[in-house]
Amino acid sequence: MRGRDRLFSVFLVALAFAVGARAEDLQPLPGKAACVAGPTALCLNGGRFRVEIAWKDFDGRTGAGRASALTDDTGTFWFFDPANLEVTTKVLDGRAVNGNWWFFFGALTNVEYRITLTDTVTGARKIYRNPAGRFASQGDTEAFPAAAESFRVLVFTRTTGFRHDSIPDGISLIQTLGAANGFSVDTSEDTAVFTPQALSAYRAVIFLNTSGEVLNGGEQAAFEAYIRQGGGWVGIHSAADTEHVWPFYGDLLGGGAWFVSHPPIQTATLRVEDGTHPSTRHYPARFSFTDEWYNFQTNPRNAVDVLLAIDETSYSPGSGAMGDHPIAWCHRIGLGRAWYTALGHRSETYAEAAYAQHILGGILWAAGQP
């Protein structure tokens, strides 16, 4: 092994000290010999698992990386990822990372971690992290408890502008999705929940047809920190007609793509641009949909991953026609995840199975689920 590769293995062994005890409850890969853990080997069943690490340090600096795995015949695998090692050094207050195991443990005292193991066969995901607000201490194996299988989301529906009649339908849909998919759903129009402590209970906050200016300065600061430190955001329809003068919200939405105008409700043709995302992979390559089609202030394409786009030749977009016209997208922001769909004006929409899958996929992605 080259020196840098070995260093990263040592780093992951340090993590294995914490993670390994929990990893065995994941099912072994059929046909693989039992893994034998060694001084530089972490047994996670034959490279079946993808390992992603996100962290922040005391100074608020954040980073994320992915450990790649090479599997040998015994099912043991080694981590090689010099690129991640480079990123890792950023958490250490600028100090070089070239020590031994204990040096790494020393380094661990300075950060909060979230380690995500994804079973690439079943899609099951387990998340390990030190408790919120608590930094890992040297040799502290309890600093990485398995996250609960379930999680909470907040549906936020405050409006100070147009109010959609479909808001109760959206709440009902998301509650149904939560009950069927193992997550809890709180709803609120009260901005008092936008504090660091209250937001920390949620893996994602869903802006369901919000409108106008809905948060004050302190609430905005709490929400921005929540997102940058790993929170999820889901924006539905007039979430794009919200917080027009808050620059961070434009970034969260994606490239400042605020709502600007819409023609009358029409049926149009949508094109799937990403057929692998959990919010779009169930759709055919092109499909018809009836909605109030938003034109956006900017084209977000350069700032986001476009999931759906609308074919402007299939309807009358009016004076705000965009040409290239994304209609649903997602992107990372800090350690957080943001997912937006313009679909969702009409009450009828919330009763459609395919739309329900679209929203579910967006929520799970934003919440860091498979």
Two tokens at 76? 């043991």
Q: How far is the CB of 346 from Zn ion (least distance, A)?
A: 8
Q: Based on the shown chain and the rule CB under 5 A, indicate whether residue 119 belongs to the binding site for Zn ion.
A: no
- Residue span 300-329 as binding mask against Zn ion, x where in contact by CB under 5 A, dash where not: ------------------------------
Q: How many CA atoms lie within 13 A of 199 on its CB side?
A: 24
Residue 335 C-beta-side C-alpha neighbours within 13 Å: 24
Query: Please, what is the minimum distance in Å from the beta carbon of residue 173 to Zn ion?
Result: 16
Would you say 344 or 368 has its CB closer to Zn ion? 344
**Is 321:293 a contact under the CB 8 Å cutoff?**
no
CB of 235 to Zn ion, least distance (A): 13
- Look-up of token digits 């709490």: 222
63 versus 235: smaller Cβ distance to Zn ion: 235
Nearer to Zn ion, 166 or 229 (CB): 166
Choose the binding region for Zn ion from 145-153, 248-256, 341-349, 360-368 (rule: CB under 5 A): 341-349
Residue (of 45, 52, 38) closest to 10 by Cα position: 38
Q: Kindly tell me the burial class for residue 163, based on how many C-beta atoms sit within 10 Å of its own C-beta (0-12, 13-18, 19 or more).
A: middle
3-state secondary structure of 45: coil
**Least separation, in Å, of the C-beta of 216 and Zn ion?**
25
C-alpha 1/C-alpha 291 separation (Å) is 57
Which of 139, 64, 82, 62 has its CA nearest to residue 107? 139
Question: Shortest gap between Cβ of 265 and Zn ion (angstroms)?
Answer: 8
Dist. CA 346–CA 238, nearest whole Å: 12
Burial class (CB in 10 A: 0-12, 13-18, 19+), 320: middle
- Is residue 346 near Zn ion by the rule CB under 5 A? no
For Zn ion, give the closer residue by CB, 331 or 345: 345
Kindly tell me which of 301 and 345 has the beta carbon lying closer to Zn ion: 345
Q: Give the shortest CB-38-to-Zn ion separation in angstroms.
A: 59
Determine the Cα–Cα distance for residues 288 and 128; give it in Å rounded to an integer.
41
Work out how close the CB of 238 gets to Zn ion at its nearest, in angstroms, rounded to a whole number.
5
- Nearest-angstrom CA–CA distance, 295 and 347: 20
The H or E element containing residue 4 is helix 3-23
Nearer to Zn ion among residue 151 and residue 293 (C-beta): 293
Report CA-CA distances (Å) from 51 to 14, 68, 114, 258, 340: 14, 7, 10, 35, 26
Which amino acid does the sequence have at 135?
F
Complex with Zn ion: residue 243 or 292, whichever CB lies closer: 292
Q: Which is nearer to Zn ion, 210 or 299 (CB)?
A: 210
Site string for Zn ion, 76-115 (x = CB under 5 A): ----------------------------------------
Give the 3-state secondary structure of residue 365.
helix
Residue nearest to Zn ion (CB): 345
Give, as ranges, the residues between 282 and 301 that touch Zn ion (CB under 5 A): 292
Under the binding rule (CB under 5 A), the answer on residue 345 touching Zn ion is yes
How far apart are CB 80 and Zn ion at their closest, in Å? 50
Pick the closer one to Zn ion by CB: 3 or 264. Answer: 264
CB of 345 to Zn ion, least distance (A): 3
Contact call for residue 126 and Zn ion (CB under 5 A): no
Distance separating alpha carbons of residues 347 and 345, to the nearest angstrom: 7
Note the residues at the interface with Zn ion (CB under 5 A): 292, 345
